[in-house]
Amino acid sequence: MMQKLRCLIVDDEADIRELLAMTLERMGIDTFSACNLQEAKLLLKERQYAVCLTDMQMPDGSGLDLVQYIGEFHAGLPVAVITAHASADNAVSALKAGAFDYLSKPISLKQLRPVIEFAIKLTTQASNSSTSTLAMLGESESMAYVRTMISKLARSQAPVYISGESGSGKELAAKLIHNNSSRRDGAFIAVNCGAIPENLMESEFFGYKKGAFTGASQDKEGLFQAASAGTLFLDEVADLPLPMQVKLLRAIQEKKVRMVGGIAEETVDVRIISATHKNLTEMMSAGLFRQDLYYRLNVIQLKIPALRERRDDIPLLAQMLLEKLCVSHDMAVPQINNDALAYLTKLHFSGNVRELENLLERALAMSDGKHITMDDLGHDNQLYVTPRVERRVNSTFNPELPSTLNLSDYLEDVERKAIVSALNKANHNKTAAAKLLGVSFRTLRYRLSKLGLAKDTDTDLDTDIADDLPAN
């Protein structure tokens, strides 16, 4: 027979201890109660518990003292702190001290049940040691720290703020926190806050009732409801307008939302992870981001290092990304030669891992399929406009730099023009065009598909792209 789970309840008010005990015993959990810190420490020494619920204020100390004691002497025991109604500061302090969650008075069954269920999952997870952060590659000290932090954050319900440059892997870190947490069976909902029109934000986040506005023909749940029992990842949270920041703060603080056009509030059980590449401290000083929301989101901060700050990881990342690209395109994995690898480790990579992946994808298309060289990587940014290609394609082909240079878009535009010119000169014979461009037929076919110049790249017919080609 399986042993019943135990919960330690610590509160100096007898009626609250009794209420919690009755509720938990209905859930099949044995309870043990203490009225102060000293008694709680004695009970902790006598037996093991699946979860501990502690009040914030007690005669001989605070709930934070107990959280810290448990973290030091009973590591792995999930602790939820009971705070006074709307006491946001206490809740944040408890989470920073190591509590996995908090409960606001008056405590309701709707609020208590998910907290207990997640605590039990955390206890089970700890015994199974199932945390995996292998997807966050890198042997550098900074990445080892990131993986350690992800493992720790996965055991908490505290809001996490992930900072880092664009393309550094903030969403991947958020997914790993979710996938290794007790919420892994729930949804991971990622939303780019800058992509939602301001007039639709409230209905997108909280949902709406039928008839709430023109076009609302039926009830529709929002992002908070969709992420119930899971994680809501707010990417580019700095882009939220101030009115929406106020509403988001209340939803996070009270764990309740009201649908647009609705009357009653509904309890939501969502963990918030947010991220942005912007400096929120500067935005707060400028009055563009609310300080109270910042401290509510930034309970625990995880900083993802820029790729140029961990150059030793570039060879490992490049190999992994190249293998991923080759699998998706059903190609053999070419070898990156030593000069090309050394060149990669010296690049600035303002776009971080995302830029590295884009660079490798282009190099893969330009390679001979067996090796990736410096030329394939576009050494000195001459990837698509070398004299050899210009001379073979069209002597009058002379691309001009745009006034506002986006290197990625510019190179794609140059490549597109070069391929179109070669195809026109070869009367749309792809084999001949590939020879003019100095690439393999397979590479040309892949680039046609990538650049949107072909409807079907799986056929060898030379006429399959004729309808898609722009005029000379």
Q: How far apart are CA 21 and CA 16, in angstroms?
A: 8
Q: How far apart are CA 269 and CA 379, in angstroms?
A: 51
Q: In one letter, which amino acid is 222?
A: G
Q: Specify whether 340 is located in the same domain as 460.
A: no
Q: Specify whether 396 is located in the same domain as 359.
A: no
Two tokens at 280? 């929120």
Would 424 be classed as within a structural domain? yes
- Nearest 10 degrees: CA dihedral of 78, 82, 87, 88? 10
343 with 380: CB under 8 angstroms?
Answer: no
Q: Specify whether 276 is located in the same domain as 156.
A: yes
pLDDT tens for each residue of 222-231: 999 999 989 9
Confidence of residue 134 (pLDDT cuts 50, 70, 90): low
**Packing angle between helix 338-346 and helix 352-366, nearest 10 degrees?**
150
Is the pLDDT at 125 greater than 80, yes or no? no
Number of domains composing the chain = 4
Angstrom distances, CA of residue 445 to CA of 391, 411, 458, 465: 22, 18, 8, 10
Q: How far apart are CA 366 and CA 444, in angstroms?
A: 8
pLDDT of the residue at 430: 84
284 with 294: CB under 8 angstroms?
Answer: yes
- For the chain, the C-alpha Rg in angstroms (whole number) is 28
Q: What is the mean pLDDT of residues 65-78?
A: 89
Choose among 253, 185, 24: nearest CA to 116. 24
Choose among 377, 306, 378, 313: nearest CA to 345. 313
277 with 165: CB under 8 angstroms?
Answer: yes
Q: Specify whether 364 is located in the same domain as 393.
A: no
Question: Which structural domain range is residue 104 located in?
Answer: 6-128
Would 136 be classed as within a structural domain? no
Q: Specify whether 121 is located in the same domain as 31.
A: yes
**Packing angle between helix 338-346 and helix 314-328, nearest 10 degrees?**
110
Q: Specify whether 55 is located in the same domain as 87.
A: yes
254 with 91: CB under 8 angstroms?
Answer: no
Is the pLDDT at 292 greater than 60, yes or no? yes
Q: How far apart are CA 49 and CA 129, in angstroms?
A: 18
User: Which of these ranges, 187-191, 226-230, 341-345, 389-393, has the smallest mean pLDDT?
Assistant: 389-393
Q: Specify whether 376 is located in the same domain as 388.
A: no
Query: Chain centroid to CA 75: how far?
Result: 27
- The CATH number for 178's domain is 3.40.50.300
User: Which of these ranges, 142-156, 217-231, 237-251, 453-467, has the smallest mean pLDDT?
Assistant: 453-467
Measured in Å, how far apart are the chain's first and last C-alpha atoms?
80
C-alpha torsion sign, points 134, 139, 141, 143: negative
pLDDT tens for each residue of 360-412: 988 888 888 888 988 888 765 433 333 333 333 343 444 455 555 555 666 77
Q: Specify whether 273 is located in the same domain as 361.
A: no
Name the one residue in this structure whose structure tokens are 């009830």. 219
pLDDT of the residue at 65: 92
- The CATH number for 81's domain is 3.40.50.2300
Q: Specify whether 150 is located in the same domain as 297.
A: yes
- The CATH number for 371's domain is 1.10.8.60
Strand partners of residue 6: 30
